[in-house]
A and B are shown apart, each in its own frame.
Chain A
Amino acid sequence: MHSFGYRANALVTFAVTILALMCGMASLSDNFNSPSPSAQVQVLNINWFQKQPNANDEVSMTLNISADLQSLFTWNTKQVFVFLAAEYETPKNSLNQISLWDAIIPSKEHAKFWIHTSNKYRFIDQGSNLRGKEYNLTMHWHIMPKTGKMLADKIVMPGYRLPKEYR
């Protein structure tokens, strides 16, 4: 009954149970955080806008992104992955999401930022539907926890429009 093996077994089982409970509670505690992030994006310039030889439209733009995501951070947050996506509808596709820029925010101190950048990933349509196209810019973020459930949310910024002619 009281051999070394049994005591070691009981101790390890207890330790693992407590650890699992603590991980679960840390993950659950994220629910008490009600964040209030903000984001603004300006399209400063359309650098160029053309039709590729394979008939897909491609556009390059300069963006000014500013955001305050400090309220997303809790004690169980390892990092926040943030990205800006262009979202629009075409006759062929009910939804097109194209990531234009992304970043990893490692800590709360870096969560209030502004950046002046051209699009990091190529903005290419499936087809040539981009002339005069109205699109949303959506700031998405994915919160990676130290342990537990991953959380995600977004801010949709509607009302952007691409130029009517190639340039």
Chain B
Amino acid sequence: MGWIGESVDSIKSLQIRQVLTQAVSLGMIVTSALIIWKALMCITGSESPVVVVLSGSMEPGFKRGDILFLHMSKDPIRAGEIVVFNVDGREIPIVHRVIKVHERQDTGEVDVLTKGDNNYGDDRLLYAHGQLWLQRHHIMGRAVGFLPYVGWVTIIMTEKPIIKYILIGALGLLVITSKD
């Protein structure tokens, strides 16, 4: 009797240990992804260090699905730079090029006008009603680096959520069933 009970106990404890290990390794994956993201935020000084291009307004430079790396430094904004900005009343940030800059003598504040390379006119139509210029606080960062195509993963996942669930499910299943 004694040794049967012992072996049952050992099997039970083994399974619990295995489940725990799987849970810990899953947690490690999630937290390391979070650590990388937050570290990028600290290094670049931008609240979203990587953005995916969603529209064709900067073609042929940036196509839909390309990835941009942002940097937000104290350097003043100058004409020609590609900036990512938020307009009041719009949720999705816009990636466009600066075409006009007016920097104040006394305060150093800037008035900035942007335009998409592939758009005919400037962005005043996209700004909030009656807004003529962007100020510093609208700007989330400037684009410094570029990687093509990789952003399609996120575009597909946001537009076809079913694929996202299938992928997460498959990955989860893989983590749970894998025996190290």
Residues of chain A at the chain B interface (Cβ within 8 Å): 5, 23, 27, 78-79, 81, 83, 85, 90-99, 102, 104, 106, 121, 126, 140, 142, 144-150, 152
- Contact check, B100 vs A99: say whether CB atoms are below 8 A apart: yes
**CB-based A-B contact count at 8 angstroms:** 83
**Given A145-B146, A149-B145, does the pair A104, B78 have CB atoms closer than 8 Å?**
no
B76 cross-chain contacts in A, Cβ below 8 A: 95
Chain A CB within 8 A of B144 CB: yes
B122 cross-chain contacts in A, Cβ below 8 A: 121
**Given A97-B79, A121-B122, A152-B80, does the pair A144, B61 have CB atoms closer than 8 Å?**
yes
- Contact check, A94 vs B60: say whether CB atoms are below 8 A apart: no
Pick the 6 closest A-B CB pairs, nearest first: A97-B79, A99-B99, A97-B101, A95-B103, A94-B105, A140-B80
Which residues of B98-144 are within 8 A (CB) of A? 99-105, 108, 111, 117, 122, 143-144
B80 cross-chain contacts in A, Cβ below 8 A: 81, 83, 85, 99, 140, 142, 152
Chain A CB within 8 A of B1 CB: no
Please measure, in the bound complex, the distance between the C-alpha atom of A160 and the C-alpha atom of B45, giving whole angstroms.
39
Please measure, in the bound complex, the distance between the C-alpha atom of A17 and the C-alpha atom of B108, giving whole angstroms.
44
- Contact check, B79 vs A81: say whether CB atoms are below 8 A apart: no
**Given A79-B61, A144-B146, A145-B146, does the pair A91, B105 have CB atoms closer than 8 Å?**
yes
Closest chain A residue to B142, Cβ basis: A150
* Min CB gap A148→B, angstroms: 6
Subset of 18 A-B contacts with CB under 8 Å: A78-B60, A81-B97, A83-B80, A83-B99, A92-B105, A94-B108, A95-B101, A96-B103, A98-B100, A99-B79, A102-B99, A121-B100, A121-B122, A144-B61, A147-B146, A148-B145, A150-B82, A152-B81
Contact among B101, B104, B146 with A148 in the assembled complex (CB-CB below 8 Å): B146
Chain A CB within 8 A of B148 CB: yes
Which residues of B26-46 are within 8 A (CB) of A? none
- Contact check, A92 vs B104: say whether CB atoms are below 8 A apart: yes
Closest chain B residue to A102, Cβ basis: B99
Chain A CB within 8 A of B14 CB: no
* Min CB gap A151→B, angstroms: 10
